A and B are shown apart, each in its own frame.
Chain A
Amino acid sequence: MRVGLPQELTCIEWIDEFKTGLSYLIPDIEWIHTPSVKNRQPLFPGTDACFPFKKMVRTSLNLSSRVDLLFIPRAVSLDGYLMCPNFRALPDIVSINIKRMDKDKTVPVISPLMEIRNRRQLDSLIKKTAKELISGYGLHGSENISYGKDEQNVKYQRDISHSIALIGHPYLLEDKRLNNGAPEILKNYDLRTISSTELPFRELNRLSASYDFYAKKMYWRPGREILGAFLYFTHIRRPAGIIQLVAFNCGIEALLRIELMSLYRQMKNPPPYMVIVCDEHVQREHVVTRIEAFLDIINGFSIK
């Protein structure tokens, strides 16, 4: 059975593990993440939503013609912290638009509710979802009920002082179609990068907690991740420079940018820091120009 899961969502750690767990329990599943280049659905009624969200909806709609089932988890909270409202609406927006596209043939959308605090909760959600898939869609379950995933070994680079730190939403950092190739461009300059996705969330969460004020804590998980990463790279281990990738019209980052700028201004001798806004209208050349200029700053380029 072919199950569609948009590429962008697989970048989110918990969702990726959800997928891995399901694959263990139901070996029949053939995952499809990116739509074929040909045969694309013509139109997606766009909204003013942020760029990654639009892309997720578009990917899902384009996947729908190639799969038997769309798997779009409703990520409400991960690690006990909230995701943004868009993730709550994503499965519904996708199914509404699938219905509008083609009234007769609609692909079912499976959207298990993810309110995950820890590994145990994810495991039980995986088992529950697998059971539903097996009974609802006639899939064959694996005999092997238990599965194990290697503990993710966080590979700390020993020395990051010459690396560029990248912070941002995981999907923005990892999906080439979303970040206009920014990490790749850096690699072309023979620079090592360290991204916020390589740091354990527990550490980032601890750092961002220092800015919580009673009820006014940063309640979004992506917010804690980005704020934590920013604090990590400015206070704990210093890289050569920090680049923040921001999705155009992302609500969380709009506020976070204000906070980070304020923090940055108060620092004494901080590493160079730059924001790159990503969206469908930004061309690769623009990103290259910005990164080159940024690297010149880092290298202390000046007229000698």
Chain B
Amino acid sequence: MLGLFRRRQPQTRVLVIGLDGVPHSLLTELMDRGAMPNLAEIAASGDLRPAESTQPTVSCAAWTSFVTGVNPGTHGVFGFVDREPGGYQQYITGTRYVRAPQVWRILGERGRRVIIMNVPVTSPPPEINGLLVSGFLAPKLEGATHPPELAARLQRLGYRIDIDPWQARQSLDLLLDDLAATLKGRVAGATELLTTEPWSYAMVHVMGTDRINHFMWAKWAADDPDYAPRFVDYYAQVDAAVGEIAPAVGDDVELLLLSDHGFTRTLHEVNIDAWLRAHGYLGVSASEEAKLAQVDESTRAFSMTPGRIFVNLRGREPRGSVEPGAEYEALRNEIADGLMKLTDPDSGEPIMDGVVGREEIWHGEALELAPDLLAIPRDGYDLKSALSGDDLFTSSPITGMHTFGDAFWLIRGRQFAEGTPRVEDGAATVLSLLGEELPGHFDGRAMV
């Protein structure tokens, strides 16, 4: 009987919708044009801010920072492909490589049930207190859910993890059809799970926005008569998706939308491996079969996308050639100075915003996985590492690239705290919204 008299606050629930790679500037422009009325309405009632990503500015690193609340030097995800510490072997990142607890693990330990849909770096699916479907890089829906039987349920709703990037490279029309179908499945899956299952934290991720930006940004930027309207139309579909999911879960749910990085037009792709080779740092000759495993003592430095430069250090790499200490530092300075002098062949403008040592931007237990140097480009210069080619400036069907700034955070019905939100503020913000105590190890802060 006592229970009848005990005052019980209804438990707060938080829904995060991740719109991968959507720039703040694009969002405001599309809102002004009336193409995104649902997001505009949320912004009118709440707070929309430009936000910052993480370094390197890649989705796997950034979303892992959001869900763990720490920098890549602590969580250990620096790219979608990472390198074994002190070796030449690479692996595709995934659940097992994340070295810091995600917000769903923290909440699970406190008895809170979660629903996590399509967040990058959750493959294979971890066993959590709730439901999870893996995101970007999960090879198939089958085997990508916790519990396993969730896959069949989502399959029936037309759920897809991602578009087929092969098709995207064949034709923009195929890409657009694929994007629409994938989004439709996402809305069906999210609405079904969020309205029939118990949860206190949910996170629904949309990768399609990043995908369309990569393949169609130039069409949008050039106001292409055929494809710019279809680019806008996809964003209108995304807006409608939010307009369907948000009311379904109810107004009492705290709603946060965000992107993990901004986007801009690619002026040039810059092959850092070609630069390292031309300057005598990289000993692996260009060929289709070239791979990092061929690095030997003739190599002093090698790289991985985007702008991650590793010194071939004696005593650390198996065939290291550079002495630790003074020689290592001198080499890092030399490479940094050289890259800073690199200029755009068309405009003569510098390409790099900075070239920084690992200890300057990251800290933590996973620093051993970090590159020795990170080259940070100015917007428009997309840093790639391809051992196969000798051309410094290259092009590909990809027409857009990530930016560190110009991401967005949008919250319904309240204001953010002072300052620019950074992606690693995610976990602290989510826990604060839920009224949960923050653990001591976060790098980010609560933005509410």
Whether chains A and B associate is no
List the interface of chain A (C-beta within 8 A of B).
none
List the interface of chain B (C-beta within 8 A of A).
none
